[in-house]
Amino acid sequence: MSLSDMSSEMSLGDLRADFPVFADGDPERPLAYLDSAASSQMPRQVIEAMVNFQSHSYANIHRGLYRLSGASTAAYDSARQTVASFIGASDRNEVIFTSGATASLNFLAYSWGEKNIQAGDEIALPLSEHHANLVPWQQLALRKGAKLRWIELTPEGTIDWASLQEALSHRPKLLTFAWVSNVFGTVHPVAKIAKLAHEAGATVVLDGSQGVPHLECDVQRLGVDFLAFSGHKMLGPTGIGVLWGRMSCLEELPPFLYGGDMISIVKRERSSWAEIPNRFEAGTPNITGAVGLSAACAYLSRIGFADIRSHDLMLMEYAIRRLEEAGATVLGPKDLQQRSGVLSFRYKKLHPHDIATILGRDEVCVRAGHHCCQPLMREIGMTGTTRASFYVYNTRADIDRLAESLAKVGDIFHIAPCPCTKIGHKPAPLASDAAPCTQEESCGECSCKLLNQSH
């Protein structure tokens, strides 16, 4: 399986056939799924791996002295090894299964944070962070009397190096940041940032939710202390994710969740804990989800990240050109090498939800809103953006569909009348030559206001 021949759609068509969802729907209006940054689709190889496990090997893991439990435990342990190899971990026990990146980051905020953050300490993070890598640290700072030190961005959405160096000069206890921005698609130079942070004495947490699915991951080369990511953004199922940590770092952490399977000995007065990773996986885990994540890792490894990266860049270059030709304003770095498979844009000052709704009627699937980055949106003066995101199953035809549907959006809103009657003018008739309202003030209730248009 290869995506290396980007001049031909043949290999892409063969790969797309692995995804059952694309066989559904109207052949005259095929699905253009451009929302993989929210959740990717699953290939049949992942679906079949989970169905086969659930049908023939499912039982609870550990301590079940019968064939099915042994098979289930073996499948779970094998999944941990596959994920460890996928991210370049030196020890499979450094891989902690969680319900997703959000759970992984909250785990760290409570386990590492409660132990290490004290009043007056600082936590540094860029303004572009997803709420999952912002709110847990914000709430920790509020609980402990610590301070968030914000790292500003350049107009293109890259980290402002002067601001980063200023933040590190205050010697924060922690630096946390995303490998790839889920708004701008910016690929941050992780190893360089981690080195600077360690020189300043900071522990480094990396949100890999958008990076691990698209970029070759070797935690040794990245140089971070902890990495969080989710299965559902990398061809796997929902409800499964990973927290990787250096063993020396994990050994210092107290448990966060308590209960079955994470204990060694329980007495009336006190308890002791199991070895890592069981210490951090209380209760019955998502065994089937781990099997699915393992299959997703194997699928991506067979494609190869060099080809995945080339494919992303080909689609990004084409999408930027087509959207700009259609009159959209694309946000993020101009240098393609600084981008991954996420593209946010504005279009004719229309509200992102209106754009996404009309595109959705055309079976063009995009995401609209603040993308769980409200502080960033507030900083750049927007309520939200429209976001298209690409993955291994997308083709240029999907981007053509996006550009064509976007033209329809412009046509619809060019003739849409303003219904406002609050400031003494009457709405234009519903006719093809109806002109938009040109009033200079807004009543605050009409559609022009909702579309961020003055009238």
Give the pLDDT of residue 10.
39
Query: In this predicted model, what pLDDT tens digit does every residue of 361-372 receive, in sequence order?
Result: 999 999 999 999
Contact between 371 and 183 under an 8 Å Cβ cutoff? The reply is yes
Per-residue pLDDT at 293: 98
Residue with tokens 């055309």: 362
Lowest-pLDDT range of 106-110, 329-333, 357-361, 426-430: 426-430
Q: Angle at CA 308, nearest 5°, toward 300 and 186?
A: 115
Residue given tokens 């004719």 in the structure block: 348
- 145 in the Ramachandran plot: left (φ > 0), alpha (ψ -120 to 50) or beta? left
Residue of 372, 418, 420, 446 marked active site: 372
Which domains, ranges and CATH numbers included, belong to the chain?
10-30+304-414 (3.90.1150.10), 48-301 (3.40.640.10)
Q: Output the pLDDT for position 326.
A: 93
Q: Is the pLDDT at 359 greater than 80, yes or no?
A: yes
Q: What is the pLDDT of residue 28?
A: 82
The pLDDT value given to residue 408: 92
Residue in 58, 55, 61, 84 with CA at minimum distance from that of residue 73: 61
- Tens-place pLDDT, residues 118-149: 999 999 999 999 999 999 999 999 999 999 99
Is 372 a catalytic site residue?
Answer: yes
pLDDT of residue 442: 39
pLDDT score for 220: 97
Q: Average pLDDT, stretch 400-406?
A: 96
pTM over 0.85: yes
Q: What is the pLDDT of residues 407-418, one digit of tens each?
A: 999 888 873 444
Quote the pLDDT of residue 114.
97
End-to-end Cα spacing for the chain: 54
pLDDT at 11: 60
pLDDT band with cut points at 50, 70 and 90 for residue 300: very high
DSSP conformation class of 430: S
The answer on pLDDT for 198 being more than 60 is: yes
Q: How far is the C-alpha of 114 from the C-alpha of 441, rounded, in Å?
A: 51
Choose among 105, 65, 45, 22: nearest CA to 299: 45
Q: Please compute the mean of the pLDDT values over residues 50-68 and round it to a whole number.
A: 95
